[in-house]
Chains A and B, each alone.
Chain A
Amino acid sequence: MTDTLILPSSVPQRPRRHRSATTEPVLIKALLIGLCLVLLTVLLFAPLIAVFDEALQRGWAFALQSLSDPDAQSAIRLTLLVAAITVPLNAAFGIAAAWAITKFDWRGKAWVITLIDLPFSVSPVVTGLLFVLLFGANSALGSWLVANGFPVVFAVPGIVLSTMFITFPFVARELIPVMMEQGRAEEEAALTLGASGWRTFLTVTLPNIRWALLYGVLLCNARAMGEFGAVAVVSGKIRGQTTTMPLMIEMFYNEYLSVAAFTMAGVLALLALVTLTLKSALEWRYADQLAATHRH
Chain B
Amino acid sequence: MNIEIEAISKSFGTTAALHPVSLAIPSGTLVALLGPSGSGKTTLLRILGGLEFPTAGRVLFDRTDATGLTVQERRAGFVFQSYALFRHMTVFDNIAYGLRARPRKTRPPEAEIARRVHNLLELINLPDTGARYPSQLSGGQRQRVALARALAIEPRMLLLDEPFGALDAKVRKQLRQGLRDIHDATGLTTVFVTHDQEEAMELADLVVVMSMGRIEQVGKPEDIRARPKSEFVREFITA
Contact = CB atoms under 8 A, between A and B. Distances in A.
A205 to B, nearest CB: 10
Contacts of B27: none
A207 B87 CA distance: 10
A58 interface: no
Interface in B19-75: 49-51, 71-72, 74-75
B140 interface: no
A195 interface: yes
Nearest to A199: B101
A195 B72 contact: yes
B76 interface: yes
Contacts of A191: 51, 71-72
A186 B71 contact: no
Nearest to A289: B88
B217 interface: no
Interface SS majority for chain A: helix
Interface string A181-193: 0010110111111
A65 interface: no
A193 B153 contact: yes
A63 B82 CA distance: 59
Contact of A185 (B84, B150, B152): B84
A189 B72 contact: no
A209 to B, nearest CB: 10
A196 B72 contact: yes
Contact of A189 (B75, B84, B133): B84
A103 to B, nearest CB: 13
Contact of A193 (B51, B97, B133, B135): B97
Interface in A193-224: 193-196, 199, 203-204, 207-208
Interface string B81-102: 1101111100000000110011
Nearest to A189: B84
B10 interface: no
B67 to A, nearest CB: 17
B66 to A, nearest CB: 14
Contacts of B71: 188, 191-192
A192 B49 contact: yes
A41 interface: no
A196 B72 CA distance: 7
B236 interface: no
Contact of B87 (A186, A192, A195, A196): A186
Determine which residue in A189, A195, A204, A291 has the highest number of CB atoms from chain B within 10 A of its CB, and name it: A189
Interface residues of B, number: 28
B211 to A, nearest CB: 26
Determine which residue in B51, B77, B88, B133 has the highest number of CB atoms from chain A within 10 A of its CB, and name it: B88
Interface in A148-167: none
A292 B87 contact: yes
B88 A194 contact: no
Interface string B126-162: 0000000101000000000000011011000000000
A18 interface: no
A294 interface: yes
Nearest to B134: A292
Given A186-B87, A204-B86, A194 B101 contact: yes
A50 B75 CA distance: 64
B192 interface: no
Determine which residue in B50, B74, B80 has the highest number of CB atoms from chain A within 10 A of its CB, and name it: B80
Contact of B72 (A194, A204, A208, A292): A194
Given A186-B87, A293-B88, A193 B49 contact: no
A85 B46 CA distance: 42
B91 to A, nearest CB: 12
Contacts of A195: 72, 97-98, 101
22 contacts: A185-B81, A185-B84, A186-B84, A188-B51, A188-B80, A189-B78, A189-B86, A189-B149, A192-B51, A192-B71, A192-B78, A193-B97, A193-B98, A193-B150, A193-B153, A194-B153, A195-B98, A199-B101, A203-B86, A203-B101, A208-B87, A292-B88
Given A185-B81, A289-B88, 17 more contacts: A183-B82, A185-B80, A185-B84, A186-B84, A186-B86, A188-B71, A189-B78, A189-B80, A189-B86, A192-B150, A193-B101, A194-B101, A196-B101, A208-B87, A291-B135, A293-B87, A293-B88
Interface of B: 49-51, 71-72, 74-78, 80-82, 84-88, 97-98, 101-102, 133, 135, 149-150, 152-153
Across the A-B interface, the 8 shortest Cβ-Cβ residue pairs? A193-B98, A185-B84, A192-B78, A195-B101, A189-B84, A207-B88, A191-B71, A194-B72
